[in-house]
Amino acid sequence: MNSLDQLRSYSAIVADTAEFLQLPRLQPRDATTNPSLVLRALRQPEYAALVAAPDVRDAARHDLDEAADRLLVRFGCEILERIPGRVSTEVDARLSHDACASERRARRLIELYEAAGVPRSRVLIKLASTWAGIDCARRLRDDGIACNMTLLFSFTQARAAAAAGVQLISPFVGRITDWARQQAGAAWDADAMRGENDPGVKALLRIWRFYKSRGIATEVMGASFRDTAQLAALAGCDLLTVSPALLDALRADHTPLPRRLDPAHAGQPEDDAPLAVDEATFTAALAADAMASSKLDEGIAAFSADGHALLELLRA
């Protein structure tokens, strides 16, 4: 059995791509998209035609934001035709600190999916893990709309998301490790920082153990992986969203890949922190965490820039 099939037996595999023509080969259960992935797909000729879809083209004449949402949903519908599970579609990252505006855009995405015959049970709305994003997810949850909290880097963000009853969180394993590597500079020991010693892996494990030991229903999906070693260290996490390149690398590898995480043996969490987090505590904790605050801001800025590039493509 190759490493991908082994990993698939422990964790739900999610393809981190908007390139839906790759999905039959990859055979994931779910898929995640974001503005960067959609923009990357649109730069390839086999996907560029989606911009010219009549509803997208017509919307672009009067409202570029609506055209972008229609385009995202078109990608989502194509993806859902090729997978058995759910697709994650992201709300405009420029709204990450505006709960009301994010909620309006999220509801429009759901309306567009439902108009296309897709039930809301097959869609996860992606929101940045800001206080506003988590508050928006709480409001949407009350109306049966499930959310995927993205750009999550800290234990405090994970606690707040769980307290809000969100469906799923996506700790960004690779970007956490990127930060630690950058801070260490020449002192970084790549061999020593592998497996459970990897900073991104350690951050996810802290969250996962806290959730499982308390019976928290929110799903944990590892994201932003840099290599297969990070994936192997998290075999058994609820879900893992993985790029096509790493999925192909796992398929080509036949090294034994044992299960590392088992909810039945989660053990005790590292601390007994309360689940509830108020806005002041959340804001102070994030401000005190240089890695989480900088990576959150950086991620919002990058997704916003690619969202703007998508709007310019639609304008053209």
Q: Which residues are designated catalytic?
A: 126
Question: Rg (Cα) of the chain, in Å, rounded?
Answer: 19
What span, in angstroms and rounded, lies between the C-alpha atoms of 31 and 21? 12
What span, in angstroms and rounded, lies between the C-alpha atoms of 241 and 296? 19
Q: Are 31 and 88 in contact (CB under 8 A)?
A: yes
Q: How many CA atoms lie within 13 A of 95 on its CB side?
A: 19
What span, in angstroms and rounded, lies between the C-alpha atoms of 94 and 72? 16
Helix, strand, coil % over all residues of the chain, rounded to 5:
60, 10, 30
The two most distant CA atoms of the chain are separated, in Å, by 56
